[in-house]
């Protein structure tokens, strides 16, 4: 069994009427990071939460913040994201025509930098940037909503990404987001994922702390 698999619960599936209670469970769990999905209604067909909520969450989260920006022009918000105490800033390949510049700006701001790929974007698109990345996030559903079904082709993409990573000498972690649960987590772990994001599998469970423990041991 691996002992290095990281779990990042996605707040999108939390009870927004009682965020403090849900965050207390995450704080007391074996979760490694807290995953925060910011949506703008333009890049994805949904709107989630913005800076007022992020500030309140950052103030009580004891887990490092893994910020997933599903927005156009994410470079406009780098300093505001950094000021929240963000550990990792994820931007979408599909949203950044000047990706190299954005990655450098994120790192200069003192955060780790990650690039996210939508399900239809090939891993090969990262061949000229992977050496600069701390992480690659592969979407295993189309971004915008929690509770969707896992796209099995993601398993092939993980294997391709591992090959690209090895060829380029990159240390980028591989994170998977969408449809992660107790059935898919062992497959993802075996394929070589380093970080699993789980929304509904965690926040809709009767015992969040126990589910996180089980995912961690997938
Ligand atoms: O980025 C997203 C959705 O766009 C995810 O982070 C979801 O929040 C994952 O939810 P589940 O598929 O685990 O319910």
Report the CATH number that the domain containing residue 206 is assigned in CATH. 3.20.20.70
pLDDT of residue 3: 76
Rounded Cα gap, residues 95 and 213, in angstroms: 34
Per-residue pLDDT of the chain (218 residues; tens, 9 = 90+): 667 999 999 999 999 999 999 999 999 999 999 999 999 999 999 999 999 999 999 999 999 999 999 999 999 999 999 999 999 999 999 999 999 999 999 999 999 999 999 999 999 999 999 999 999 999 999 999 999 999 999 999 999 999 999 999 999 999 999 999 999 999 999 999 999 999 999 999 999 999 999 999 98
Count of domains observed in the chain: 1
From the CA of 35, give the closest atom in ligand 1.
6
How much is the pLDDT for 97?
Answer: 97
Strand 88-92's sheet: what is its strand order? 6-9, 195-198, 173-177, 135-139, 112-117, 88-92, 65-70, 34-39
202 part of a folded domain: yes
> Which ranges in the chain belong to alpha helices (H)?
19-27, 51-60, 78-83, 99-108, 154-168, 184-191, 200-203, 208-216
| CB environment 45-77: b (16+ within 10 A), e (fewer) | eeebbeeeebeebbeebebbbbbbbbbeebbeb
Say if residue 146 carries a ligand binding annotation.
Answer: yes
CB 157 within 8 A of CB 123: yes
Residue 179 annotated as part of some ligand binding site: yes
The residues facing 70 across adjacent strands are: 39
Structural domain for 149, as ranges: 6-216
Burial class (CB in 10 A: 0-12, 13-18, 19+), 137: buried
On whether 200 is known to bind a ligand per the annotation, the reply is yes
Q: Which ligand 1 atom is the nearest neighbour of the CA of 179?
A: 12
Ligand 1 centroid, distance to 5 Cα (angstroms) = 18
What stretches of 31-95 show up as alpha helix (H) in DSSP?
51-60, 78-83
Q: State residue 189 phi and psi, 5-degree precision.
A: -65, -45
Distance CA 39, CA 41 (A): 6
Q: What is the pTM of this model?
A: 0.98
Predicted local distance difference test score (pLDDT) of residue 138: 99
- Answer yes or no: is 25 within a domain: yes
Question: Could you tell me if 46 and 142 are in contact, meaning their C-beta atoms sit under 8 angstroms apart?
Answer: no
Index of the ligand 1 atom closest to the CA of residue 13: 8
CB 198 near ligand 1, within 6 Å? yes
Residue nearest to atom 1 of ligand 1 (CA): 143
Ligand 1 pocket, residue 141 CB under 6 Å: yes
Active-site residue, 37 included: yes
Residue 1 lies in a domain: no
Regarding the beta carbon of 201 and ligand 1, being less than 6 Å apart is answered: yes
Q: Which residues contact 80 (CB under 8 A, 6 or more apart)?
A: 51
pLDDT of residue 100: 98
Residue 1 has a pLDDT of 61
- Dist CA 127 CA 13 (whole Å): 33
Rounded to the nearest whole angstrom, what is the distance from the C-alpha of residue 46 to the centroid of ligand 1? 12
Half-sphere exposure of 71 toward its Cβ, with a 13 Å CA cutoff? Answer: 21
Angle formed by the axes of helices 51-60 and 19-27, nearest 10°: 40
* pLDDT of the residue at 2: 67
| Residue 9, ligand 1, Cβ within 6 A | no
Q: With a 6 A CB cut-off, is 199 part of the ligand 1 pocket?
A: yes
């Amino acid at each position: 069994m691996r002992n290095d698999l990281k779990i990042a619960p996605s707040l999108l599936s939390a009870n927004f009427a009682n965020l403090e209670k849900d965050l207390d469970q995450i704080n007391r769990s074996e979760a490694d990071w807290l995953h925060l999905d910011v949506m703008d209604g333009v890049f994805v067909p949904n709107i989630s939460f913005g800076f007022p909520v992020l500030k309140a969450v950052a103030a009580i989260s004891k887990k490092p913040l893994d910020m997933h920006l599903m927005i156009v022009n994410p470079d406009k918000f780098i300093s505001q994201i950094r000021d929240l105490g963000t550990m990792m800033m994820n931007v979408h390949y599909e949203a950044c025509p000047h990706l190299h510049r954005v990655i450098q700006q994120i790192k200069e701001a003192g955060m780790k930098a990650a690039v996210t790929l939508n399900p239809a974007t090939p891993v090969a698109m990262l061949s000229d940037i992977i050496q600069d990345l701390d992480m690659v996030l592969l979407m295993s559903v189309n971004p915008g909503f929690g509770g969707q079904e896992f796209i099995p082709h993601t398993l092939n993409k993980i294997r391709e990404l591992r090959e690209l990573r090895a060829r380029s000498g990159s240390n980028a972690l591989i994170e998977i987001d969408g449809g992660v649960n107790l059935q898919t987590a062992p497959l993802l772990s075996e394929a070589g994922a380093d970080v699993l994001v789980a929304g509904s599998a965690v926040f809709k469970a009767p015992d969040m702390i126990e589910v996180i423990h089980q995912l961690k041991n997938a």
